[in-house]
Amino acid sequence: MAKKAELIEEAAKLKLEVSPKATIAELEAAIAAAKPDKREKVEKEIVAERKADVAKAGKRSEKAAEEAEVKAEKEARKESGDTAPQGDAESHVKKGAAPKVRPLAERRGKGYKKVAELVDKTKVYTLAEALELAVKTNPAKFDASVEVHVRLGVDPRQADQNIRATVSLPHGTGKTIRVAVFAPETDAAAAKKAGADIAGDEDFLKQLEKGDINFDVLIATPAYMPKLGKYARLLGPKGLMPNPKSGTVAVDVVKAVTEAKAGKVEYRVDKQATIHLSVGKVSFGAAKLLENAQVFFASLQSHKPSSLKGVFIKSTAIATTMGPGIKIENQTN
């Protein structure tokens, strides 16, 4: 009772109206509310004590303590199922219905639709029939390329199944191939006579230094290959780095230039186990295209991996640059 009497006296000094029946706790609360300065002082002392107990870094640092509090709040909201946005985050607004997209066949041009009607999607054509039809179904106004697309049953990640080879097409591809030769001066002069567009030694390296690439095929002698290592990042991504498998690393540069100009092309399987190759132009006619395609398929069959147990050629299609695809029968039979 003595403590209560002291509290009543203190409340009277602060000119507080308190009931004699008030409890000690109520009196203490009223006095504390009447002394804001004292309350602030007590709060500052508590904060100071907390800061004094916090380390500069590590698990006991102030930053770590704040992160722990935020994490605890997130966990509490997660357990309670509270998904309301926090802070400045906007609440999730449900989107409307997905836009209707027309089928690809409807979005094609009039020229494509007209020639696509000539192709029976349910039929598997022979190679000769497909090439004749490809010539008729070219919707482009230019002399389009006729392409062969072959899906293989190989795994390109396996070294022995990563098919890469070259083939000399009897009638070429219809494209003008610019050939560059990096070889000693004597070989470079002979290559120039054989039809090389660019041939040289140190002068050729100066062109590469400037980043000038005015060729489609680069042929080099084995002795000069180390000098091209410096330009691997320039040539490699463009597929121009000479490679023995593609026949662009050769001692006889004259023969290599002649083959490249005559229509020697390289084909290789991509990451999707598919080979894409142009076998000529529409202007060649079906007969010449057929000869080129037959030579390509013969070359492809000769490179069938011995470790392959399943089907080698899964499917094949013929198409012009902008024309519809034409399925053809298996060419391994």
- Under-50 pLDDT residues of the chain: 333
CATH class held by domain 111-174+263-333:
alpha beta
- Predicted confidence at residue 70, as pLDDT, reads 85
- Predicted confidence at residue 130, as pLDDT, reads 92
The count of other CB atoms within 10 Å of the CB of residue 1 is: 6
- Predicted confidence at residue 276, as pLDDT, reads 93
- Predicted confidence at residue 40, as pLDDT, reads 60
- Predicted confidence at residue 75, as pLDDT, reads 84
Q: Output b/e per residue, 175-198; b: 16+ Cβ within 10 A.
A: eebbbbbbbeeebbebbbebebbb
3-state secondary structure of 272: coil
- Classify burial at 155, counting beta carbons within 10 Å of its beta carbon; exposed 0-12, middle 13-18, buried 19 or more: middle
- Predicted confidence at residue 206, as pLDDT, reads 85
Report which secondary-structure segment, H or E, holds 315.
strand 313-320
- Predicted confidence at residue 53, as pLDDT, reads 56
Whole-model pTM: value is: 0.60
Phi, psi of 120 (to 5 degrees): -90, 110
Domain regions of the chain by residue span: 2-79, 111-174+263-333, 178-262
- What CATH number does the domain located at 178-262 have? 3.40.50.790
**Whole-angstrom distance, CA of residue 156 vs CA of residue 140:** 34
- Predicted confidence at residue 45, as pLDDT, reads 64
Best CA proximity match to 134, nearest among 116, 159, 156, 114: 116
- Predicted confidence at residue 5, as pLDDT, reads 75
- Classify burial at 83, counting beta carbons within 10 Å of its beta carbon; exposed 0-12, middle 13-18, buried 19 or more: exposed
**Ordered DSSP codes for 111-166:** HHHHHHTTS-TT--B-HHHHHHHHHHT--SSS-PEEEEEEEES--TTSGGG--EEE
Strand-pair category, 217-220 with 179-182: parallel
Q: Is 277 left (phi over 0), alpha (psi -120 to 50) or beta?
A: beta
**Whole-angstrom distance, CA of residue 26 vs CA of residue 11:** 11
Residue pLDDT, tens place only, 152-197? 988 888 888 888 888 888 888 888 888 888 888 888 888 888 888 8
- Predicted confidence at residue 290, as pLDDT, reads 93
**Whole-angstrom distance, CA of residue 120 vs CA of residue 133:** 11
Cβ proximity of 168 and 264 under 8 Å: yes
- Predicted confidence at residue 192, as pLDDT, reads 87
